Every structure is written in C-alpha cells, then in structure tokens.
Amino acid sequence: MNAPIRPGPDLSVIRDDVRAISAYHVPDATGLIKLDAMENPYGLPEPLTRELGQRLSQVALNRYPPADPAAFKAKLARAVGLPAGMTLMLGNGSDELIHLVIQACARPGAKVVSPWPSFVMYELAAKFDGCRFVGVPLGADFALDRDALLAAVEAQRPAVVFIAYPNNPTGNLFDRAAIEAVLAAAPGLVVIDEAYLPFARDTWLRQLGRWPNLLVLRTLSKLGMAGLRLGYLCGDGAWIGEFEKVRPPYNVNALTLAAVDFLLDHLDVFEQQAQAIRAERARLMAALRATPGVTAFDSDANFILFRVADAAATFAALRARGILIKNVAPMHASLGGCLRVTVGTPAENDAFVGALRATLQVSR
C-alpha cells in the first residue's frame, strides 16, 4: 500500500516580514583571493599558534562557560582602557549586542535611527525586534548630514541611534562635533560602533562619563580574531545591567574566552599587523586613484570604497579573475557603481589592482 502524499510545510506560521526577505548571504570564497569581508589577512605567528593550541587543549569542553566571566572582563577592560566607573558586556560578536540593545528598548512603536547607508545589521535587528528603522541619507562624499540627522532625531524620538565610526561601507569618520550634537539632542541611547578602531585609532571611549546616553560598541573581529566572534559593549553600569537581563546565558563559549584571554597578552602582534594594514591601505588607495575609470573614497577603516562605471560587471569580472570583493551598489542609491575592497596583504592587493586594471581596460 502506498504511503499518503504529505502536503508541504505550512509556512504561514512564520512572520510575513521574515518570509519576505532573504537570508544574509555569505559567498563561497574557495579558490579566490578573499577581499570581501574586512578580515585581517595575517595569521598568528607559528610559536603563538602552538602555545594557543596548548591553552585551548586545557579547556573543559564538558562544562558550560562561566555565566559571568568576571576575571576575563576585568582583564579585557584593562587591555582596552575602559574608563573608571564604566562597565562592559560581552556578546557573540557585535551583531548579538546590537540585537540585545534594541530588544531591551523595543517598546511598542519604538524607533531606531542611523545615518544611511551603514551597517546592515542596524536595520535588520530593528525590524526583527519589532521596531521601525529610519535611515537618514548621508551628505556629499558620504559625510554625516548633521541637520538631517538632528531633524530625524527630533521628529522620530528614537530609542536608539546607531553611528558607525568609521562608517561601513563608506569607510569615513564622521565629524565629531556633529555626533556631539546628536548626543545632546537624542532622547534615548546613542551607540557608537567602533568596529574599525584598529585602523582609525580614534575613539569615543573616554567620553563615556561625559554623555550619560552614550554607549561604545566594539568587536575583536577586525583586529584579527574574526573566527572567535567576540564583541563588547561599554557604558554606564546602569545601562549594562539592563542589557544583561536579555543576554542569553553562556552566550560566549569557553574556547572563545580562553583564546581571547591568551591573545590579550599578545596585543602587540595585532598592533603590528594593523600598522601593516594601514600602510597597505595608503598604498592601495594611491594605486586605485592612479587607475583610470576609478574614483576611490577616503578611508579610515581596513577597506576602501570605490566607484566604477558598472559595479556588477566589474565585480563579476574580478571574480572570474580569482578576486572576491563586495558589490555594495544595490545597498543604497548613493552607492551606485560602488564596490568595496578589503585591504589585504601586499601580494593580494597587487593581484587585485592588476585584475581591476585588466578588467577596466577590457571593458573600455
């Protein structure tokens, strides 16, 4: 007897807005020079790799990680120069912390504001947590439009304002006086996202005591620990205490805690790598600006945004030549023709520039 045919799953139980979007896409980089995700291209020196392996072999994988790793957090606070009287909270990357901040503030009708285009997770997390997201278009050359942002803060009364510093995908640092004006005007929180601090070397951390509504968000991913997925949020203990209530227990795994605890003793290695990346950024910028048909924008991050006549065709041609970068043109009207390339090793950057010039020459 044949088994009855089962109907397909009834997806109507899934929220309409979730069914209407696509999952975040991470392209396969197998066999390609990977310059699409703002990763540090340098690995650990061999002696550190061996020592790290020994340290991780001692982690009790049969036990949960500490629910509140106080000693680790104190060590991290000292390493990053957290001001006295301030507190930090750990997250599974900064993505989780963005979500937790919004979730804790997501009253009915709550709004989230950000200069736009910027990091896509601000918008996604706001929508997933039931908030309205308002992106305020950037000004000329992707500068912060102070008047427009202040008008949006006044009109929307947002629970949270996110400001990436430097901004992704544009790479620039916004005017500090304009951000201070937003801090003074905002009725809720202002989260300054310093994901690219190792390459900008300009921080708001020391301003935490001055602005009671300021939070500083950071990640160790861009520094060179992307695979460990550790972010941290800094601010007044009263704020952090509320966000801790919505943080899942054991959200940072034991291997991550052990690895970062070890690597904090070797931050000089990562600083040397960041210095090399900053030097390569300058060299890559000069090469892009010397390439006909390319407009490259100033960057304080570990990537460069540049514009060509046809972003989609150039992206596809570069991939065919073995180079994977990011086509950001579909993200926003102001990014028409724009591509984003991560600063790689000297050899990777040379290969990219050579492939780009060959591609543009062919297309002319």
pLDDT in tens, 140-182: 899 999 999 999 999 999 999 999 999 999 999 999 999 999 9
Helices 311-320 and 346-363 pack at an angle, to 10 degrees, of: 120
Ramachandran assignment for 127, one of left (phi > 0), alpha (psi -120 to 50 degrees), beta (any other): alpha
Say what the pLDDT of residue 1 is.
Answer: 58
Helices 254-263 and 46-56 pack at an angle, to 10 degrees, of: 140
Residues 144 and 239 in one domain: yes
Residues 72 and 206 in one domain: yes
pLDDT tens track for 115-131: 999 999 999 999 999 99
Structure tokens at 86: 């301030």
Say what the pLDDT of residue 10 is.
Answer: 86
Q: Give the model's confidence band at 364: pLDDT under 50 very low, under 70 low, under 90 confident, else very high.
A: low
Q: Which residues pair with 232 in a beta bridge?
A: 90, 218
Residue 312 is part of which domain span?
Answer: 15-45+268-363
Asked if pLDDT for residue 199 goes beyond 70, the answer is: yes
The answer to whether position 6 is within a domain reads no
- Tell which residue, 258, 269, 341, 257, has the closest CA to residue 43: 269
The answer to whether position 82 is within a domain reads yes
CATH number for the domain that contains residue 354: 3.90.1150.10
Residues 180 and 324 in one domain: no
Residues 104 and 158 in one domain: yes
The answer to whether position 335 is within a domain reads yes
Domain edge (last residue) among 237, 265, 293: 265
Please tell me whether the overall predicted TM-score, pTM, comes out greater than 0.75 for this model: yes
Residues 296 and 223 in one domain: no
The answer to whether position 88 is within a domain reads yes
Residues 147 and 134 in one domain: yes
The identity of residue 353, as a single letter, is V
The answer to whether position 50 is within a domain reads no
Asked if pLDDT for residue 22 goes beyond 90, the answer is: no
Could you give the residue ranges of the DSSP H alpha helices within 9-162? 16-19, 46-56, 70-80, 93-105, 120-128, 146-156
Residues 314 and 166 in one domain: no
The identity of residue 205, as a single letter, is L
Dist. CA 202–CA 167, nearest whole Å: 13
Decide: 346 and 277 in contact? Cβ < 8 Å: no
Give the count of domains, the chain: 2
- Give 20 or 349, the one with higher predicted confidence: 349
The answer to whether position 167 is within a domain reads yes
CATH number for the domain that contains residue 260: 3.40.640.10
Residues above pLDDT 70, as percent of the chain: 99
pLDDT tens track for 304-341: 999 999 999 999 999 999 999 999 999 999 999 999 99
Strand order of the β-sheet with 295-296 is 295-296, 303-307, 338-342, 326-327
Dist. CA 191–CA 288, nearest whole Å: 33
Residues 230 and 315 in one domain: no
Say what the pLDDT of residue 295 is.
Answer: 98
Tokens 């996202």, residue located: 193
